[in-house]
């Protein structure tokens, strides 16, 4: 069933034209996935014979009644750049095509976050100028899919492949770029990044119709959206009033000088525009407009960084996220390709002691039950006062550690401590961890962010003691402990690491 879904998505009508045309990802400087069959597709006049030639392969197809055609190149190996030639009544020549590893980078603003922007820009990584100057890396190539919303599955998307250089890298997804830089250095092959992102978007927008129909519980998604449309006029008026007030505050801060303006920009609340019939908030809209046109381009895997826009509904997230992973794989029809994601970092979200982000992080972690998934923990490298932390270098590196180990079989540490078990020892609880063979350490100060509770379910700050790969947790208020939590707030000061310098993932032992 899933393979058929993928093929139908790939062959949706593009419209009839006499000239042979290629799907959007086949442009100059493209990266094709190595070691897999490579689909190449496009449109032509119905019944027209189309020939695709690349290196020593030449494959033919006949365009169907709807003008669609697709061929599959046999698995390819890296080598010198080559020309991809597609011929029918006309001939297309795609230059400088390379073979390597293709990763799709998707999600909301923290994946969209660029390498470089002017000082003060929201999107500007740490040490941006130095990173740009060092980015003469032609093995890395980037395809930014232009933003598009669609009510039905679209077959066209806009974008071009760009070769990495100091002149171009500033517009790359920063997380994807630092991931690719690590892999390119170790694998020695081209890395292609397909950047499919839109800041401020919820997971519902990235799900396909098939995914949202797969579980009766997902009916709440459309019900909520339909209500939002009914409320739209009132929300527009409220939004415009809030924007006017914000613009007034900004003008005052600007007049007070650069320092005050910079301080204002850091604290300025983001005002999400109200949903509308053409909004990227619409369920399915971004799958239809930005993901569907890419099917079934050959990929190694997906990098995902999203969840901030779902923090008010964390209990829904696990099922939706699992459906997204399952159905993206199904639509692509390339098996359970790697799907690596970023767990949300420490961020106050207006309430440092609150825990809605903790519940969302747990919902993300539950996706690890699916095959070939991996999670980069970032609980230590966020910014409690900024939803867009700038240390994207470490985020990309941690994703690359997972890919090196799980995807490419390269030895080395790749995971921080993960909760394994806990048992009571007198008035304390002893917590055991996996991925702590070299021992546990508390960075910078004594261990923090542990709390402990008894049967009354009241958690208290805990005293802790590290003993090899375990932590002994206790509190004078809790004489008969039954549960432990770690880093279970929006912006915890989490400082438990293993000997490889990787952070422990937040966890709880209770089911309350």
Position 62 in a domain: yes
C-alpha distances in Å from residue 449, one per residue of 242, 416, 423, 483: 36, 16, 19, 14
> What's the pLDDT score for residue 482?
98
> What's the pLDDT score for residue 270?
74
Position 274 in a domain: no
> What's the pLDDT score for residue 119?
83
> What's the pLDDT score for residue 237?
86
Residue among 135, 139, 142, 137 at smallest CA distance from 105: 142
Task: Among 361, 376, 407, give the residue marking a domain's end.
Answer: 407
Regarding whether 469 and 332 lie in a shared domain, the answer is no
Reduce the DSSP state of residue 406 to 3 states and report it: helix
> What's the pLDDT score for residue 234?
84
What does the alpha-carbon distance between residue 440 and residue 1 come to, in Å, rounded to a whole number? Answer: 46
> What's the pLDDT score for residue 112?
98
> What's the pLDDT score for residue 265?
82
Regarding whether 382 and 301 lie in a shared domain, the answer is yes
How many separate domains does the chain show? 3
Position 240 in a domain: yes
> What's the pLDDT score for residue 8?
39
Mean pLDDT per block of 10 residues along the chain (512 residues) reads 40 57 97 98 97 98 97 97 97 98 98 92 94 98 97 95 98 98 97 97 98 98 92 84 92 91 82 78 97 98 98 97 98 98 96 95 98 98 96 98 98 97 98 96 94 98 97 98 98 97 98 96
Max Cα separation, the chain? Answer: 82
- 155 backbone φψ class: left, alpha, beta (φ>0; ψ -120 to 50): alpha
Regarding whether 38 and 139 lie in a shared domain, the answer is yes
> What's the pLDDT score for residue 19?
93
Residue with tokens 């597709």: 41
Position 279 in a domain: no
| Domain extent at residue 238 | 220-267
Position 341 in a domain: yes
Residue among 113, 105, 108 at smallest CA distance from 393: 113
What CATH number corresponds to the domain at position 339? 3.40.50.1110
Position 461 in a domain: yes
Regarding whether 155 and 49 lie in a shared domain, the answer is yes
Position 303 in a domain: yes
Regarding whether 232 and 289 lie in a shared domain, the answer is no
Backbone angles phi, psi at 20, to 5 degrees: -65, 135
Position 276 in a domain: no
Regarding whether 331 and 248 lie in a shared domain, the answer is no
What does the alpha-carbon distance between residue 384 and residue 113 come to, in Å, rounded to a whole number? Answer: 17
> What's the pLDDT score for residue 2?
40
Regarding whether 308 and 172 lie in a shared domain, the answer is yes
Residue with tokens 């039950």: 369
Regarding whether 254 and 320 lie in a shared domain, the answer is no
C-alpha distances in Å from residue 331, one per residue of 108, 193, 254, 297, 386: 21, 19, 49, 11, 35
Regarding whether 478 and 432 lie in a shared domain, the answer is yes
What does the alpha-carbon distance between residue 422 and residue 428 come to, in Å, rounded to a whole number? Answer: 10
Regarding whether 253 and 390 lie in a shared domain, the answer is no
What does the alpha-carbon distance between residue 124 and residue 130 come to, in Å, rounded to a whole number? Answer: 12
Regarding whether 105 and 11 lie in a shared domain, the answer is yes
Regarding whether 50 and 160 lie in a shared domain, the answer is yes
């Amino acid at each position: 069933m899933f393979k058929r879904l993928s093929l139908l998505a790939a062959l949706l009508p593009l419209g009839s034209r006499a000239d042979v045309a290629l799907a959007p990802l086949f442009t100059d400087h493209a990266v094709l996935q190595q070691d897999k069959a490579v689909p190449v597709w496009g449109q032509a006049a119905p019944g027209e014979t189309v020939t695709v030639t690349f290196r020593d392969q030449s494959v033919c197809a006949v365009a169907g009644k709807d003008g669609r055609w697709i061929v599959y190149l046999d698995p390819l190996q890296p080598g010198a750049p080559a020309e991809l030639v597609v011929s029918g009544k006309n001939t297309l020549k795609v230059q400088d095509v390379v073979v390597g590893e293709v990763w799709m980078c998707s999600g909301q603003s923290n994946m969209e976050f660029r390498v470089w922007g002017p000082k003060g820009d929201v999107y500007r990584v740490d040490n941006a100028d130095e990173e740009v100057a060092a980015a003469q890396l032609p093995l890395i190539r980037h395809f930014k899919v232009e933003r598009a919303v669609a009510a039905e599955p679209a077959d066209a998307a806009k974008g071009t492949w760009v070769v990495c250089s100091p002149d171009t890298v500033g517009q790359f997804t920063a997380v994807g770029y630092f991931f690719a830089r690590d892999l390119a250095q170790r694998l020695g092959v081209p890395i292609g990044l397909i950047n499919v992102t839109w800041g401020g978007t919820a997971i519902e927008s990235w799900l396909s119709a098939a995914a949202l129909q797969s579980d009766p519980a997902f009916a709440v998604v459309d019900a909520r959206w339909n209500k939002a449309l009914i409320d739209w006029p009132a929300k527009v008026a409220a939004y415009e009033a809030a924007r006017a007030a914000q613009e007034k505050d900004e003008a005052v801060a600007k007049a007070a000088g650069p320092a005050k303006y910079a301080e204002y920009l850091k604290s300025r609340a983001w005002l999400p525009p109200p949903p509308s019939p053409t909004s990227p908030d619409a369920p399915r809209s971004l799958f239809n407009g930005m993901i569907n046109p890419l099917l079934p381009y050959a990929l190694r895997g997906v990098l995902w960084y999203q969840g901030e826009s779902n923090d008010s509904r964390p209990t829904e997230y696990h099922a939706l996220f699992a459906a997204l992973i399952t159905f993206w794989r199904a639509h692509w029809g390339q098996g359970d390709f790697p799907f690596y994601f970023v767990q949300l970092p420490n961020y106050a979200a207006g309430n440092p002691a609150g825990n809605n982000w903790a519940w969302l992080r747990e919902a993300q972690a539950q996706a690890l039950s699916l095959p070939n998934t991996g999670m980069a923990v970032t609980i230590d490298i966020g910014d409690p006062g900024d939803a867009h932390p700038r240390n994207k270098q470490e985020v990309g590196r941690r994703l690359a550690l997972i890919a090196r180990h799980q995807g490419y079989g390269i030895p080395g540490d790749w995971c921080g401590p993960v909760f394994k078990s806990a048992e009571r020892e007198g008035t304390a609880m002893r917590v055991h961890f996996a991925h702590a063979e070299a021992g546990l350490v508390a960075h910078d100060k004594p261990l923090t962010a542990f709390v402990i509770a008894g049967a009354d379910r009241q958690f208290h700050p805990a005293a802790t003691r590290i003993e090899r790969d375990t932590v002994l947790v206790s509190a004078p208020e809790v004489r008969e402990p039954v549960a432990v939590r770690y880093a279970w707030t929006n912006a915890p000061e989490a400082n438990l690491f293993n000997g490889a310098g990787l952070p422990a993932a937040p966890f709880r032992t209770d089911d309350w």
